[in-house]
Structure 1
Amino acid sequence: MNYMIIDLAAQQPTIKSLGDYLFARQGDNRRPLPVWFRQSGQPFALDGYSVEWDQTDSGNNPLTVSGTTIAGAAVGQVIFYFPARAFAVAGTVTGHFLIKKADDGTVISSIDLTFEVTKDNVLMNIDTTPFMNDWEAFKTSIKNDTDGLQSQIDGFNSTIAGANSTAQSIEALVNANQVAKSSDLDSYLKNNVDGTVNGIVTANDFKNQSGDSFNTLKANVDQLITPQVQSSIPLKTGPFLYNLSDLDADQKPPYLSTADYNGYGYVIFRDSQNYIINFPVSGWVLNVINGSKTWSNNSGIMVAWNETVKKGSTLQLVPNSDTVRFEVNLRGEHLCTKGSLSQGAMSFIDILENAIHGLYLEYSYNSSSCVLTINKMSELLNGTYSENTTDSIQLGVVIYGQ
């Protein structure tokens, strides 16, 4: 049987259309809908819970039904039977599932679902509007940063392509011996009173009045066209290739996944005390201002995910990870906060049915060993404050540099 998956903790639904899961005509009764409830991708155990359907039809008539459910073969699977009243009025119906536990008052609602009731059939789909929240804004900001970086890279690629074309034209002329020798030039100049040269001139090298060499210019252009892997990043504006193991210590990003140990980047150079080294694939940027070096990563690098921790637990982080975002999964909630490791504490607050749910973490961070130690965990839940709770939480850490 094909089950419709509803993740109770998802920030964005994973199903775009439910036409494959439900078909009925107006006035039908006990139409089945196979549903598989999950939470953060894991099956959600329904032991002790009841399942209800809460809707409003096109005539603004509210309806709440318990329906009839039959448990499926896997944890979290049920078959929900809709009564005829759910399909009584033609038009758009908006509703959601309610997962309730009577003994402690827990109520978990699903994302909004909509379906069209016609005289022929019922078409159901997900309404994603309630989930275009701060998470979407965060992803949009990351995309904007990435697009800006891509625009810079495209500019470099265009410059390189133009230089490549020029160098190839010059090389073709040299290979075809279509330039004059120095002796030919001397002879020609002696026969021209005004010193004007018409035609093609060949020589070992050319220099302008400032002494700049043409051969040096061509070598620089060749380096732009085909950068070579070097033991240290050259401090001049342009692209470069790198192998992490060959880089100088102060040019290595704080943390890279194995896939990013080799790659490319580019330098924006002003002088030896002011420049930028950018590693666009991983997002790391080394900013050097007046000789002071700072690593940053606007998109963030995940160095720990869903680690089970409690008071006394430790996490191994990486150098230059002072600015971080903590992500906590606790009692079915996903809580985030961003700050500096030097603060020594992080607070997480959420509102649940007119009640405040808070989590407070105190920690110590050894910048030499990059080890984070959880020293204290306190929780405010349903008006009750628990000091130094021994419960475990799922903790993720995203670093953004210094």
Structure 2
Amino acid sequence: MRDGSRWVGVAAAVFVLAGCAADPGPAAPADDCVKIVEEGGTETDRCLPLAPEDGRVDTGTPRFGNPLRVTNPLHPTGIVRQTIYGGQVDGKPFRTEVTLLPERKIINWGGHRIDALESQYFALSDGRIKEVALDWYAQADDGSVWYLGEDVFNYEDGEVVDTDGTWVAGADAPAAMIMPAHPAKGDVYRPENKPGVVFEEVTVSATNQTVDGPSGPIEGAITVSELHMDGSREDKTFAPGYGEFSTGNADGDHEAASLALPADATNAPVPPTVDALATAIRRATDAVAGADWAAADTATAAVAKAWTAARPEDAPLPLLTRQMDRDIDTLTTAVSQRDAGGARDAALRVAQNELDVRSRHEAVDPTRVALWARQLVIDAAADDQAAVAGDLASLKWTFDRIRGDVPDPAAVHRTLTALGEAVEQGDLAAAATEARKLG
């Protein structure tokens, strides 16, 4: 799930920064035909069924007097520290961690500099890295939120295979509205809008909706229909305090918010039951890694028992609960079948879920760094080069979130550099030695 995907069309917007108009070029004319682009990049001679031009609300002249104050309730990028999404894509468990980074991005557009928030989108398929994007957002003075570009890194077998979807406002295209200030039914806007590369056109379907959230009902949500450049449509829900809340449907690919911080945070300390769950998961993971199947049987049963005790009592967390149930069942089955690879992956997902539960009580990204370091050691022992490469990438991206909070980031950087060199040389034993310094 991401605000940006692959896009087509040019936004007809100019902006005013600090009260001074700056025109990046003539406004784009209405699109007579935006060609459908099939998966794989083949452009057809068929046109997308675009909404009438007079329905668009993204062709005005936004002002960016305080662009870093991104507080639109339906796209609160400046307020939400982190959102965890879960679901399935292509029949596999899919997980996304969206984190507001401390860095700011300066976008040069129309001869002016716009300060933008930077958000890290980190997606995992079956627990393993699939895509990372750095997305840039700014809020106009009227409360609308604008998308100013993204750096995209698509992964296969732990390695970057392409950067398709990367763009920057000004260098490649104008900025694009991603959320109106006050969306109304029938509003049309284009969150991404570059001909022949990526395209999304959104039509607001309903407003003032109530949805079931992780901590209870959420009022004031909207639903939209999103048209993609391949001609497909996708339904999405946006909710106050979360932003993008859900997409797809339960019968196919779907994702939804498992929890968001601070919306689902609590001031209560970590319950002892959650600590006990973490201990049980660690023992099961170690037993699986050591192929001690008798111990793994016992430890996995202990995980299931510990999870029963650790289920949050103050919030339903329905999606996270279903995911943990599913992943523990998968782990139990893999252990009973002595499926080492399946058990390793399932144990990783169970550990990720436990950290999600814990995140409501305390910051867990430092622990996520340690988790990836330990997973690298496990995958190195299994002689799984692709998994180790993915663990290293995941470790680096997760460390980027906490770099400013680490007492000696230079030391961590040196370890990551040595670790990367070992992985590149295929020396998994040396890679494991370096990873132990972080786990």
- When normalised by structure 2's length, the TM-score is 0.24
| Structure ranking higher in strand proportion | 1
Structure with higher RCO (Cα < 8 A, 6+ apart):
2
Q: Give the number of the structure whose alpha-carbon radius of gyration is greater.
A: 1
| Structure ranking higher in helix proportion | 2
